[in-house]
């Protein structure tokens, strides 16, 4: 009898421990969030803001742990979407550029000189075209929740001012790992060279490449002028929206309440980051000029010359992106 009672107590204790473990598990869950840039940049700040809001709204029941610098994919930012789709990453605040190899529709935002201003970007992301892009992402096992913004990408180089396509002739320009970028700079007469950002700064320092393209926030925070980039052309040739997203299986495993929190906080963090990025543009540009960078702003005629030089790129890539999506986005831009 004594042995039986002892076994009963042990069984009860084990059952209680199991219940407690289950309860604690239900109370707290951590999701990994991948970003390319750390919180010195608006991009990284967007992810941190999302994490902050989630923890606050769930009182710590659900937390997001941010892994910047593409840590979860060994620095290869083009693998981020695949890693999230496969479940190696729970969530991400990612770039449309980096995800475009797996989601061709995201190349919409990289079409050269397609979106002239932030109003055009908002018309696309906030309308039917944006919904079509989100549907394309979701069809690949990732649930998109909200938009953020890395900003319009500008061109810098170490050789001289650039205000016409001929100025790019033969220049080695570092580009991200997207075929569309290769085609765009080839059409402009440059020599596009794909490399990670970790490799790009040393290459710029030594002169192995002549120039690069990035948003003003990246140029400013990363002090790209300190690696020989003394000339900057403001040409707004493409915009890079960010996307807050979660792996489909992770999403399905969450309660309705937690899904709502994740989506609402992603939207809030995205709106906060977009506003901040845009508000800081003029201040960043002033800081860059104060450091001695020569800034070139294109006239309407000069801008049109670049548009015409890349017209064939549009024609070729429209079929890859999807004519219906491109037409829907164009209509939104024209109606803005």
pLDDT digits (tens, 9 = 90+) for 168-179: 999 999 998 899
- What is the per-residue pLDDT across 235-276, written as a single tens digit (0 to 9) for each? 999 999 999 999 999 999 999 999 999 999 999 999 999 999
Asked, for residue 10, whether it belongs to a domain, the answer is no
Mean predicted confidence (pLDDT) in 84-101: 97
Q: What pLDDT score does 198 carry?
A: 81
- 151: tokens are 């900003």
Q: Which domain holds residue 120?
A: 29-310+330-335
Q: What pLDDT score does 26 carry?
A: 53
Q: What pLDDT score does 28 carry?
A: 86
Asked, for residue 316, whether it belongs to a domain, the answer is no
Q: What is the mean pLDDT of the chain?
A: 93
Those residues whose C-beta lies under 8 Å from the C-beta of residue 273, and which sit 6 or more positions away, are 42, 43, 45, 46, 49, 148, 149, 242
Asked, for residue 212, whether it belongs to a domain, the answer is yes
Asked, for residue 268, whether it belongs to a domain, the answer is yes
Asked, for residue 239, whether it belongs to a domain, the answer is yes
Asked, for residue 7, whether it belongs to a domain, the answer is no
Number of domains in the chain: 1
Q: Model's pTM, two decimal places?
A: 0.90
Does the structure show a pLDDT above 80 at 180?
A: yes
CATH code assigned at 227: 3.40.190.170
Please report which confidence band the pLDDT of residue 21 belongs to, taking 50, 70 and 90 as the band edges. very low
Asked, for residue 222, whether it belongs to a domain, the answer is yes
Q: What pLDDT score does 25 carry?
A: 43
């Amino acid at each position: 009898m004594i042995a039986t009672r002892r076994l009963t107590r042990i069984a009860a204790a084990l059952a209680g421990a199991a219940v407690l473990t289950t309860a604690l598990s239900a109370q707290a869950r951590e999701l990994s969030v991948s970003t390319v840039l750390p919180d010195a940049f608006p991009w990284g700040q967007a992810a941190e803001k999302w994490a902050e809001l989630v923890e606050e709204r769930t009182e710590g029941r659900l937390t997001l742990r941010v892994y910047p610098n593409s840590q979860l994919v060994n620095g290869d930012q083009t693998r981020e979407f695949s890693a999230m789709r496969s479940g190696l990453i729970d969530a991400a605040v990612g770039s449309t550029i980096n995800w475009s190899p797996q989601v061709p529709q995201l190349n919409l935002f990289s079409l050269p000189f397609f979106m002239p201003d932030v109003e055009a970007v908002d018309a696309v992301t906030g309308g039917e075209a944006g919904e079509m892009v989100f549907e394309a992402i979701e069809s690949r096992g990732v649930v998109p929740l909200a938009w953020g913004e890395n900003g319009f990408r500008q061109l810098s180089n170490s050789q001289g001012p650039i205000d016409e396509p001929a100025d790019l002739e033969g220049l080695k320009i570092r580009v991200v790992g997207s075929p569309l970028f290769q085609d765009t700079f080839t059409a402009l007469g440059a020599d596009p060279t794909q490399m990670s950002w970790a490799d790009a700064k040393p290459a710029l320092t030594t002169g192995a490449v002549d120039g690069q393209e990035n948003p003003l926030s990246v140029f400013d925070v990363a002090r790209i002028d300190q690696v020989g980039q003394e000339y900057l052309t403001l040409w707004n040739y493409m915009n890079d929206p960010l996307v807050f997203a979660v792996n489909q299986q992770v999403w399905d495993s969450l309660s309705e309440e937690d899904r709502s929190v994740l989506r609402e906080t992603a939207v809030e963090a995205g709106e906060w980051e977009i506003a901040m990025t845009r508000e800081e543009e003029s201040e960043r540009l002033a800081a860059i000029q104060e450091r001695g960078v020569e800034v070139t702003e294109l006239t309407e005629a000069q801008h049109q010359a670049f548009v015409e030089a890349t017209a064939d790129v549009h024609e070729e890539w429209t079929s890859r992106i999807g004519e219906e999506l491109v037409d829907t986005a164009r209509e939104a831009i024209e109606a803005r």
